[in-house]
Amino acid sequence: MTIFDEARAWLEGDPDPETRDELQALIDAHAVDAIEDRFSGTLQFGTAGLRGLLGAGPNRMNRVTVSRATAGLCAWLATQVPDASTRGICVGRDARPNSDVFEQDVIEVATAAGIPVFVFSETVPTPVLAFAALRLRAAGGVMITASHNPPGYNGYKVYWENGAQIIPPNDAGIAKEIERVAPKPIPRLPLADAHAAGLVREIDALRADYIAAIADEVAAAPDRAPIRIAYTALHGVAERTLRGVLLRAGFDDLHSVAEQAVPDGRFPTVDFPNPEEPGAMDRVLALGLEVGADLVLANDPDGDRVAAAAQRNAGFELLSGNDIGILLADDLLRQNEAPRPVVLSTIVSSPMLGLVAASHGARWEQTLTGHKWIQNRALELEREGQTYVFGYEEALGYAPSTLVHDKDGISSALRLVDLASRLKSRGRTLLDARDALFTEHGFFADSQVSVRFEGADAQSRMRALIDQVRANPPQRLGGIPVTRFSEPDHGVLVFELEGGHRAMLRPSGTEPKVKYYCYAVDRVENDGDLEAAKGRARALLQRITDDLRTASGC
């Protein structure tokens, strides 16, 4: 078959008039490059599911790929979870274009396969869906979201029966089932018939259960001070739930960026709805100055990440993803009274967590990138008698509660507010607490640089870059000898440097990017000059970063 034959065959099975019209127009225009971009490959199960641009074809997110993914998931559940037909799956959605349509496709395909569906009638944050899947002991879960990706994207995030995102062998098993069902028509049970058969149950009450359970984990400490918060949901779905959590926990002074409070998957006021991106938090930082906030917070559009800024000299300083992780880990370990505590972070996150954990007598482990690895490892460690306290990845993803087996930007925001309020009662801020940890353990400078690849050959060019560095790894970075070079996961290249510094290179699991992560550490001298240590570490960090980019040709 030619690429045009494949496109015409796709048209016959596409139930969506919008993507049919899109594809027919490309065929009529003989748009070879555009059609090859859509049909030269298929979306693969990556970071716990699918994520990609909306559009027609197997290399896009659309009703066909969602229906095939659901049929594959249900077929795999039937072989791996004997009572899946009674336990069912939980399904939720964000506010992106087509999320509601894709959710209905999931329901109709799953119920046709005999799998009951528990669904929210409205949009929900991803952590609420993850909470519901765990609370209901569902056989699995599906969240329709592209998290912090640009507005042209959507995604399909899969949870297993343990409440965590899928890992091997389940991701590969689902992928094989998708391949088996792809050439065949996908059976569907119309939504009205699924309801009439009792195969669909609305679970809106579980949002309130999540709010209560998360808020009640944070005791009302007597040393709290009133705290004012400036907040943005970045046009996402987290605000209603976050406001409920904070109010129940006793924090009622929340000021929201009004034009970003209503869910809107077009993200009209930000170029890129990711709080890590330059400019994304400009409006909430301005609001913080306007209302005299103590703390500025931003969730990403599906609410599983959180960014923060604290007061500094009549302005605000953004905390890095590692800053937040270290602060939360230290605070949670101080409060922990359970035996054999353990904290986890990913290999691209700051090694400073190991020193903080050791100071509290806790165990520290590193996992591959992504909370699917953190949470599945945490469950293994708990079965071995360890007590999971906290896990994080530097990309603003934190997991401070065992009520959700995934990163949770809402419970993490509450923990930051609680910590900031207790610090304020002593005349201190999150920045003061962070700098105290730097003084104790050393200053760990970190940088993350992302290089975006565009076009149909983006993936092949990314692989070529990784292959080049693997074949010719640098022997020195920033003038420091490389003592160890490893590849703990395919495409993830790690360079350990003399003196405890580190550099890493990896392809993103969710976007066409190659990411560079570098760390440089400097100890505070006897005179306690933290600023001097920061300067030395940052200078070395820049040299390490520059050398790694040069070695990769970027």
Please give the structure tokens belonging to residue 471.
Answer: 């074949």
Question: What is the phi/psi pair of residue 525, to 5°?
Answer: -70, 175
3-state SS string for 197-243: CCCEEECCHHHHHHHHHHHHCCCCCCCCCCCCEEEECCCCCCHHHHH
Pick the closest to residue 123 from 272, 249, 241 (CA basis): 241
Q: How far apart are CA 117 and CA 103, in angstroms?
A: 11
Classify strands 140-144 and 254-256 as parallel, antiparallel or unpaired. Answer: unpaired
Instruction: Note the helical H segments in 81-160.
Output: 84-87, 99-112, 126-135
Residue 86 contacts residue 116 (beta carbons within 8 Å): yes
Contacts of 2 (CB under 8 A, 6+ apart): none
Pick the closest to residue 138 from 156, 157, 162, 114 (CA basis): 162
To which H or E segment does residue 449 belong?
Answer: strand 443-452
Contacts of 340 (CB under 8 A, 6+ apart): 363, 385, 386, 387
Q: How far apart are CA 517 and CA 548, in angstroms?
A: 10
Q: Three-state DSSP class for 476?
A: strand
DSSP lists the bridge partners of residue 144 as 93, 156
Which residues are known catalytic residues? 147
Q: How far apart are CA 519 and CA 349, in angstroms?
A: 9
Query: For residue 512, is the peptide bond before it cis, meaning its omega torsion is within 30 degrees of 0?
Result: no
CA 325-366-554 angle, 5° bins: 80
For every residue of 377-430, DSSP letters joined together read HHHHHHHTT-EEEEEEETTTEEE--TTSSS--HHHHHHHHHHHHHHHHTTT--H
To which H or E segment does residue 194 belong?
Answer: helix 191-196
Q: How far apart are CA 103 and CA 259, in angstroms?
A: 26
Please give the structure tokens belonging to residue 157.
Answer: 């995030």
Q: How far apart are CA 90 and CA 80, in angstroms?
A: 17
Instruction: Note the helical H segments in 429-502.
Output: 430-441, 458-471
